[in-house]
Amino acid sequence: MNEPENCTPWGRRLSSAAIFVLAAAIVLGALHTAFYGVYDDTLVRVGGLSLAVFLLLLRMSAAHPRPKLRQGVDVGLGLVFAASMLHYASIAELLETGLWFPEHIDLVYGLAGLAVLLELARRTVGFPLLLVCLLTIAYGLYGASLGETLGHAGMDLENLTLTLWYSFEGVFGRPLAVVVDTIVVFIIFGALMEGLGIGDALLKLAVRSLGWLRGGAAHAAVLASALFGTVSGSAVANVVATGVVTIPMIRRSGFSARFAGAVEAAASSGGQITPPIMGAVAFIMADLTGIPYLSICVAALLPALLYYLSLFACIAVEAQRAGIERPDRASLPSLNRSDWAMIAVFSVSLLIVVVQLVRGVSPALAGFWAVLVALVFGLAANPQARSLRVFSRAVRGAGDASATVIIAVAAVGVIVGVMNYTGIGLRFAGAALSFADGSLFLSLLVMAAACLVLGMGMPTVPAYLVIILVMGPAVEALGVPTVAAHLFVIYFAVMSAITPPVSLAAFAAAPIANANPLGISLVAMRISLLGFVVPFVFAYSPSLLLITDFSWTELLWALARLGLASWLLATVFTCGIVGMVAGLLALFALVSPLLGLQLGGAVLGVAALIARHKGFIRATSPCGGVTPAPCA
């Protein structure tokens, strides 16, 4: 958390205290709601957004290098938003009874609040989300003139303001409710894990477990990032938290700087598709689909395991190609009693979540008990965490991360509100079906491309919401099960974090690895290709998700194909031109929906691997050089 600059000591203390108080209010409010339930929807949603806005404004103003100019702007934004919220509070009872009739001043307050929200969305999430929101608003106001295909019945400024600000269909809609009711509790859980120092213990466990393998440092980094990523909720946060240790460790073992950064970026991104937390997006998915949260975790399990197995395969092949030897077991770090205690705290806390969910407890209450157990036993196991400084840092981290998610999802509410009012989602789905001419494969390609484009520079949750609301109905209309369609979108929204040109996870890893971010992004894409492939497989073979249209034959055949595909992806770029062409043809055939092509791909893939193993295909560098020189 940045401290205020160019301020007097009293000014810094006052600003720091205010930030802590606002963060603590978010944390305590979320824990109270998780334990006792939602007492008042309006209070929880509007109050949660208000706390998030004021916290981020204060934190940004304090951290800006020109505080006087920036503070003037931020104070103005804060006063405008405060006036809008006070006005909302004055008419809240009338809104609930339906006896309220808007006047001109109501529209002014509502539009002012929307403007502040969109400005904060620009600052915290980035320009892409702001652009999508503005285009959506423009469509709502002027889309009636777009003709029969994309036009709608009309939406004037009053209807826009009433829908987006003064109802539960827009900014304060269901997505925001899920965040403040459920997701914030798990953000608190992740911040607590970090504050207790559990990440260090998990890293030592990963190194001790896998460090003895060839290229063991990279294997350990994948395991550590996967474990920490299950609770961190953000690929970038995961890279920053674990990458400062894992990336230098990977480089010291003999891998290139670019490969080290790519491994961390790919592994950290995978944390958002790994149960049970899944970057908090699973909670919104459960709310949108009505599918139990635990069922979503079960559905996501096998694809996530296959993704990480593919990363392990790529690391093993690269280590062999680069001539990296197995390290001496005696050089690996040992775990002391304190480390095992922290690992036990982590394991028991996650087990509490699973057990509570199996018992039928709400995800929010399960998260509450996990936080409580982690706090009590974590403080008992780690005396160094028993300090006001650690407590303050954890509360601030939880409040800041929660506020960022709240702002992002509230901004997505603008898109949701306009789409529901105008029906553009159904129209777009119809247009997509017409364009694809009933082809499921083309529809999936369109949805995948949209996820990658919109996900660039945008967190997983808003990217997922935008795409699934627009394209979800079209894909489901072609016979894809609901859970498969939603997980498909989640996968490509997550993969956008390593997709150029934005690739946020790669940019986060670049300064740590001291390598070019675009180069890291390209290598990360190469070793994560299974993450781009497996969604197409479970769209056509939903048995892979275990909870829908299940068939043992389909499941075993899908696992066999993806297992072979994982090894092909690990080796295909090191087999020369002929081997690479044969491997890619086999790969595409393996993931195609046609059984004949799948069988042909399996035969060709096995033949390519045998030829490489026998030496008929010479191993080369994926960067174009010949082994054993590693890629730069």
pLDDT tens readout for residues 408-443: 889 989 988 898 888 877 777 677 667 767 678 888
pLDDT digits (tens, 9 = 90+) for 235-269: 777 787 778 888 888 888 888 899 999 999 999 88
pLDDT digits (tens, 9 = 90+) for 32-76: 999 988 888 888 999 999 999 999 998 887 766 556 677 788 889
Distance (Å, whole) CA 308 – CA 305 = 5
Going by C-alpha positions, the residue among 63, 171, 43, 200 that lies closest to residue 124 is 63
What pTM does this model have? 0.81
3-class DSSP assignment, residue 169:
coil
pLDDT band (50, 70, 90) for residue 628:
very low
Distance (Å, whole) CA 417 – CA 434 = 25
Residue for token pair 């466990």: 205
pLDDT digits (tens, 9 = 90+) for 162-200: 999 998 888 998 888 888 988 888 889 888 888 888 877
Going by C-alpha positions, the residue among 554, 594, 561, 601 that lies closest to residue 441 is 594
Residue for token pair 């403007």: 115
Distance (Å, whole) CA 484 – CA 491 = 10
Q: What is the 3-state secondary structure (H, E, C) of 604-631?
A: HHHHHHHHHHHCCCCCECCCCCECCCCC
pLDDT digits (tens, 9 = 90+) for 325-360: 777 777 777 888 888 988 898 889 888 988 888 888
Q: What is the pLDDT of residue 622?
A: 58
Q: What is the pLDDT of residue 611?
A: 75
458 has a pLDDT exceeding 90:
no
3-class DSSP assignment, residue 313:
helix
